């Protein structure tokens, strides 16, 4: 399994976005070109670049630390030399992407204000990242079972526990490829166990940005 995350997204300016997009296939250029917000363009460009680098490393088993902006630019330079067949996507019924030209390699992408993350594996994978967010008790009651709800509301910092629990649900639904199903929000943990899916969650505290976030991986 290969996991990368990148948290310097604010440093990907328009010039860097254009440099990244310039070597991408037409499909990705269209996808990114259709996005209105510069940040969304940057997130997509970064995610695709990390995917390309991860494919090159797909024979290894790595849980990678964060990429610095300097490392990211170095890796992008290597990828841009045309050493690999760039991935082309197809999309499932609910929008989950897979690769037409790299069969047998599965991936998933997630992004939030704090980071962009990508996971690559030899079978289905779901990944989600989330930082601290305000939440309503109504949302907690609707989306979490009794045990999860108690863990959130009794936590020293409820926003952190909410983020942790939420990434686990998102990672599971992304693993299934269905997207979030409201009728199954409260049964996420049991559903994953019954499907033989393992969900791992880590708290990430990048030393340079100070923007903590949770990363959940479902495999």
* pLDDT tops 60 at residue 69: no
pLDDT at residue 73, as a whole number: 58
Sequence-distant (≥ 6) Cβ neighbours of residue 152 within 8 angstroms:
140, 144, 158, 161, 162, 165
pLDDT at residue 81, as a whole number: 40
Question: What's the pLDDT tens digit per position in 129-153?
Answer: 999 988 998 999 999 999 999 999 9
Question: In 3D, which of 21, 17, 20, 38 has the Cα closest to residue 75?
Answer: 20
Greater pLDDT, 128 or 184 = 128
pLDDT-based confidence at residue 80 (cuts at 50, 70, 90) = very low
pLDDT at residue 11, as a whole number: 87
Query: Model pTM?
Result: 0.85
Q: Cα separations (Å) of 93 from 35, 80, 119, 125, 146?
A: 21, 31, 21, 17, 32
User: What is the mean pLDDT of the segment spanning 204-209?
Assistant: 77
- Report the topology of domain 130-219: Ribosomal Protein L22; Chain A (3.90.470)
153/159 Cα distance (integer angstroms): 9
Q: Which sequence spans correspond to the domains of the chain?
A: 1-123, 130-219
127/129 Cα distance (integer angstroms): 7
Identical fold between 1-123 and 130-219 = yes
Q: Yes or no: is domain 1-123 CATH 3.90.470.20?
A: yes
Longest dimension (CA), the chain: 52
What are the structure tokens assigned to 104, written together? 């047998």
Greater pLDDT, 103 or 46 = 46
pLDDT-based confidence at residue 30 (cuts at 50, 70, 90) = very high
pLDDT at residue 183, as a whole number: 82
pLDDT at residue 84, as a whole number: 73
């Amino acid at each position: 399994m290969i996991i990368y995350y990148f948290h310097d997204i604010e440093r990907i300016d328009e010039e860097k976005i254009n440099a990244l997009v310039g070597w991408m296939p037409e499909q990705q250029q269209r996808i990114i070109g259709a996005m209105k917000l510069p940040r969304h363009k940057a997130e997509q460009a970064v995610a695709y670049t990390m995917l390309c680098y991860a494919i090159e490393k797909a024979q290894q088993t790595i849980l990678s630390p964060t990429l610095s902006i300097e490392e990211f630019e170095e890796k992008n330079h290597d990828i841009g030399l045309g050493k690999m067949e760039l991935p082309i996507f197809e999309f499932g019924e609910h929008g989950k992407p897979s690769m037409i030209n790299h069969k047998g390699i599965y991936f998933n992408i997630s992004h939030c204000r704090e980071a962009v993350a990508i996971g690559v594996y030899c079978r289905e994978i779901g990944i989600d990242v989330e930082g601290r967010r305000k939440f309503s008790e109504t949302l907690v009651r609707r989306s979490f079972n009794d045990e999860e709800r108690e863990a959130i509301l009794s936590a020293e910092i409820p926003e952190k526990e909410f983020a942790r629990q939420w990434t686990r649900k998102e990672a599971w639904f992304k693993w299934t490829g269905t997207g979030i199903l409201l009728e199954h929000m409260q049964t996420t943990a049991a559903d994953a166990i019954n499907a033989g899916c393992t969900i791992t969650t880590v708290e990430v505290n990048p030393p340079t940005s100070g923007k903590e976030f949770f990363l959940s991986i479902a495999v």
